[in-house]
Structure 1
């Protein structure tokens, strides 16, 4: 019997394996893909924003309705703990101007190599191309290159990711297995994903252009950032931050002049020669980019003749759309194992001795360091919980794989 089994070798699974091995447990990590942590490596291509230095209350607020449940785990292993952990692996970190924390190397591969080296040195076994297919009684079943295998473990940590970027390993196929085991699930929904919409012909020359310094609002959510006009709609961090409210049906409103009050926008639009074209007024008086002007024309309808009416439209431009892009295109997903299906150690109430962590759990967060922080923090919590469970059961090191 394997002392501890971790299914999934992303950040949450590797962190659970690290805590289990540090507690003296023998650990087998099973990963469906040919190599571990593929999505983690992909995230690192843009700099690996692993966490964020921010006021604790503001940091937790990013998790919305699940902030209270995640708070103890993030308090125990949040931005300061993650930074110290990175540096103990020889990966120096720095904080950007917005509080985002990155490795100095600005990619994930050096951190991952050091991490895997530490785990291997601690005796953690890693098996790749092992795809979990469910349980046979107490045993976990796998399809492997050598044929079907079963592993019986004293404790199991599930860290299979959500359902985004399935080509990197997170395909959500675990939902059917867990539902059959009586585990309550919330539907998987796209998060941190682009917004789908169709463009009129005049927008063709603007596609690919960034829209910077814009404020976005949808329902209770507000975002200040930027996005890109893509052939399929709107993409970028500014959009991702308001997707949860858009999923609930809230309209998307853009403030194209966020640094100016509406009255000041109206005053500037009224200034200058009466014969001046609208485009020139928007460009000269408000410093609007061609992409912003194009958005106003696309969604604003016929321009009002009165400056106050035009100012109101610029400050709250309603954008009709076709909803978020599909789950497979999302950076992350919401939904999954309901948090009330887990105890405080993240053990499944429907299956004692089985724990879950990372994006499998039903929480949602924007990009900017929040996603990886919660994956690492929940992985740590599940690892600690599994180690404590093994200790209570009095299980000794050993392994049974057949």
Structure 2
């Protein structure tokens, strides 16, 4: 059974819903096909610990952080239609932090910015925003079809498994927003990759992003499992973070780790400064004081003021240097020893996806005109802290508007 629809969005996460909103605002009726029993499951999970919508900083600064995870911005060497760093930056600047905040407030959601500039709903949860968003889409005439799982291309249409059996939809314009490969149980299972590759669309392999790292702790670290590490600086390659992180039974997790995770994953050495607010000389003077009858652990605890920091030093810093200057240097640049990233199933997001060369600046697939893509399907990655969600919204809006322009052009040509 084949059905013709004006516009189709596949995937009811943030990018897909924003694409549908853009199409609806342009006057086009949209069908939203979602494989799961309900929409935006990963979005709702993110909201359980406080929905970080965006970060309150200038659009240009924000976009530059995102564009650092795009393809190199070499316009001279890029093939025609290549979505490069400058183009991703332009998309995000077109719907940056201030725009996201205005959009959320327009849905009746009160917001606040934390001390780091991260923006949250006052109620912290994602569900009130999602309910208001779905109501807006319904008022535009959008139709949400759940348990409609895309199964690939069918001649000039797109095939689905549905509660009523196999169906084929033919749309004037389609936006794909099926997510990446992290948290597959919530819907982003990357099942679409072979279908797009078979259609001639280049897709880079997926890798975990914004994830923790495995560590084979010694038995001495067992009492510290679940303990937050505060007041340190983590760095890897060009990235660094001053946030908190957590010692877990199997490794390290938390915002500070996620902020440097891309460089760690790609082979950069990780370094921990256990006392970032104290320079090496002052620390060496502190360590030069007589130890007396104190054990090494108690002596270090007195010098560092935190048993967790001492435990990490003894875990990752042995054999400890004898001289105060050398020990201070070790404390200020402690090697972060890990056994690789946590699996992609546990990552907050994923890197990889549809390669830039397969897309026009409008996010249209060169191999399949009339089909656009957005969100984590694209080959980019962004740090946590609001960057990821805002960019999904921005690319969804960009693709939805481009799809609407295509439909408008076709309607004008048909008259």
Cα distance in 2 for partners of 1:238, 1:61 equals 19
- 8 Å contact from structure 1 (residues 194, 240) kept in 2: yes
- 8 Å contact from structure 2 (residues 59, 97) kept in 1: no
**Equivalent position of 1:21 in the other structure:** 24
Cα distance in 2 for partners of 1:111, 1:387 equals 24
Cα distance in 1 for partners of 2:189, 2:127 equals 23
Aligned residue for 1:87, secondary structure, equals helix
Q: Does residue 1:176 correspond to 2:194, yes or no?
A: yes
- 8 Å contact from structure 1 (residues 154, 395) kept in 2: no
Q: Does residue 1:76 correspond to 2:100, yes or no?
A: no
Q: Greater shift after overlay, 329-338 or 387-396?
A: 387-396
- 8 Å contact from structure 2 (residues 18, 397) kept in 1: yes
Listed as ranges, the matches of 1:210-225 within 5 Å are 210-225=228-243
- Pairwise CA RMSD of aligned residues? 1.5
| Per-residue Cα deviation, 1:262-293 (whole angstroms, up to 9, x for no partner) | 11111111135444333233322332x22211
Aligned residue for 1:347, secondary structure, equals coil
**Equivalent position of 1:192 in the other structure:** 210
Question: Taking structure 1 as reference, are residues 279 and 61 closer, same or farther at Cα in structure 2, changes over 3 Å only?
Answer: farther
Q: Does residue 1:360 correspond to 2:384, yes or no?
A: no
Listed as ranges, the matches of 1:89-238 within 5 Å are 89-238=107-256
**Equivalent position of 1:62 in the other structure:** 65
Question: Taking structure 1 as reference, are residues 90 and 142 closer, same or farther at Cα in structure 2, changes over 3 Å only?
Answer: same
Instruction: Please list every run of 5 or more consecutive structure 2 residues that lacks an aligned counterpart in the other structure.
Output: 71-84
Aligned to 1:40, which of 26, 43, 67? 43
Cα distance in 2 for partners of 1:299, 1:286 equals 15
Superposed displacement of residue 56, structure 1: 3.6
Q: Does residue 1:284 correspond to 2:302, yes or no?
A: yes
Listed as ranges, the matches of 1:323-402 within 5 Å are 323-394=340-411
Q: Greater shift after overlay, 22-31 or 220-229?
A: 220-229
TM-score by length of 1: 0.96
**Equivalent position of 1:5 in the other structure:** 8
Superposed displacement of residue 344, structure 1: 1.4
Size of the aligned set, in residue pairs, is: 396
Cα distance in 1 for partners of 2:278, 2:202 equals 48
| Per-residue Cα deviation, 1:48-95 (whole angstroms, up to 9, x for no partner) | 000001244432232214242321111111110011111111001111
Aligned residue for 2:244, secondary structure, equals strand
Question: Taking structure 1 as reference, are residues 209 and 295 closer, same or farther at Cα in structure 2, changes over 3 Å only?
Answer: same
Cα distance in 2 for partners of 1:93, 1:340 equals 38
Question: Taking structure 1 as reference, are residues 386 and 316 closer, same or farther at Cα in structure 2, changes over 3 Å only?
Answer: same
Cα distance in 2 for partners of 1:42, 1:88 equals 23
Aligned residue for 2:52, secondary structure, equals coil
Q: Does residue 1:306 correspond to 2:323, yes or no?
A: yes
Cα distance in 2 for partners of 1:167, 1:42 equals 12
Superposed displacement of residue 223, structure 1: 1.5
| Per-residue Cα deviation, 1:160-212 (whole angstroms, up to 9, x for no partner) | 00111111101111111111111111110000111012111111111111111
Cα distance in 1 for partners of 2:202, 2:40 equals 27
| Per-residue Cα deviation, 1:105-156 (whole angstroms, up to 9, x for no partner) | 1100000000000111111000000000011121110001111011000000
Question: Taking structure 1 as reference, are residues 330 and 65 closer, same or farther at Cα in structure 2, changes over 3 Å only?
Answer: closer
Cα distance in 2 for partners of 1:65, 1:127 equals 33
Superposed displacement of residue 395, structure 1: 7.4
Q: Does residue 1:242 correspond to 2:245, yes or no?
A: no
Superposed displacement of residue 396, structure 1: 10
TM-score by length of 2: 0.93
Q: Greater shift after overlay, 225-234 or 12-21?
A: 225-234
Cα distance in 2 for partners of 1:143, 1:227 equals 42
Cα distance in 2 for partners of 1:352, 1:159 equals 16
Aligned residue for 1:62, secondary structure, equals helix
